[in-house]
């Protein structure tokens, strides 16, 4: 007897999946090349080589498409992407180490995402309905990261929320600055050595923060 689970999906399902993948990839290509101002259903359909009707059929419209793109990990690293190769092992580590390693992975992911940095730079000077969608995705990401990594040690230290916000914003800012300048505050932002120095600083911060009283 053939196990139904081993059967290949029908051609129509495969075709749809491939088309959706092309459409999602096209979102990033249009953003990288032309910016938010040119991002529309027609431009995306042309880039993907599909009829724009398929964007409405598969995603419901441009806002829904951008939400799917934002949640796919193409723009912003998913929390799961930042847990490393062995998430259970990381989550079993002491809070300070868990926190520091998460930031190490966050730094590494941002550095290999030039499109993400382009979008972040554009958001500074242009805010619209589409940038607001990506902002909402990042807020949801922050909530998920807090749930996954926080735990009792995080919850017992109310100051950690503000500290984490400052660190996330600081990493983003320095990654953005590295696009235009090499050295900031004496740190080479275009070298692994420079970012390793910053990672070690976050390691030290994490140790001190989680050693603080639960006030």
**pLDDT at residue 79, as a whole number:** 87
**pLDDT at residue 173, as a whole number:** 94
Q: Dihedral sign, CA of 197, 94, 139, 29?
A: positive
**pLDDT at residue 140, as a whole number:** 86
User: How far is the C-alpha of 88 from the C-alpha of 91, rounded, in Å?
Assistant: 5
Whether the CB-CB separation of 110 and 116 falls below 8 Å is answered with yes
* Domain coordinates in residue numbering, the chain: 4-71, 79-211
Give φ, ψ of 91 to 5 degrees. -70, -15
User: How far is the C-alpha of 144 from the C-alpha of 36, rounded, in Å?
Assistant: 27
Q: How far is CA 132 from the centre of its chain?
A: 15
- Please give the structure tokens belonging to residue 82: 């930042």
User: How far is the C-alpha of 20 from the C-alpha of 18, rounded, in Å?
Assistant: 5
Q: What is 4-71's CATH topology?
A: Arc Repressor Mutant, subunit A (1.10.10)
- Please give the structure tokens belonging to residue 95: 């809070």
Residue-level pLDDT, tens digit, the chain, 215 residues: 545 555 555 557 778 889 999 999 999 889 878 877 788 999 999 999 999 999 999 999 998 998 898 878 788 888 888 888 888 888 888 999 999 999 999 999 999 988 888 888 877 777 777 778 888 888 888 888 888 877 888 888 889 989 999 999 999 999 999 999 999 999 999 999 999 999 999 999 999 999 866 54
């Amino acid at each position: 007897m053939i196990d139904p689970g081993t059967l290949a999906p029908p051609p129509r399902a495969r075709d749809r999946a491939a088309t959706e993948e092309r459409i999602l990839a096209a979102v990033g290509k249009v953003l990288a090349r032309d910016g938010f101002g040119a991002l529309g259903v027609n431009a995306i359909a042309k880039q993907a080589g599909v009829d724009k009707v398929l964007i409405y059929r598969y995603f419901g419209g441009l806002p829904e498409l951008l939400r799917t793109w934002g949640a796919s990990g193409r723009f912003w690293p998913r929390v799961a992407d930042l847990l490393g190769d062995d998430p259970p092992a990381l989550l079993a580590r002491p809070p300070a180490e868990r926190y520091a390693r998460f930031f190490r992975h966050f730094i590494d992911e941002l550095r290999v995402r030039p499109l993400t940095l382009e979008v972040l730079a554009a958001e500074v000077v242009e805010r619209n309905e589409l940038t607001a969608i990506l902002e909402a995705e990042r807020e949801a990401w922050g909530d998920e990261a807090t749930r996954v990594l926080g735990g009792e040690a995080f919850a017992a230290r109310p100051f950690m929320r503000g500290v984490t916000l400052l660190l996330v914003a600081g990493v983003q800012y320095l990654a953005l600055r590295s696009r235009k300048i090499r050295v900031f505050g004496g740190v080479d932002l275009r070298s692994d050595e420079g970012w390793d120095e910053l990672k070690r600083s976050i390691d030290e911060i994490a140790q001190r923060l989680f050693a603080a009283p639960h006030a």
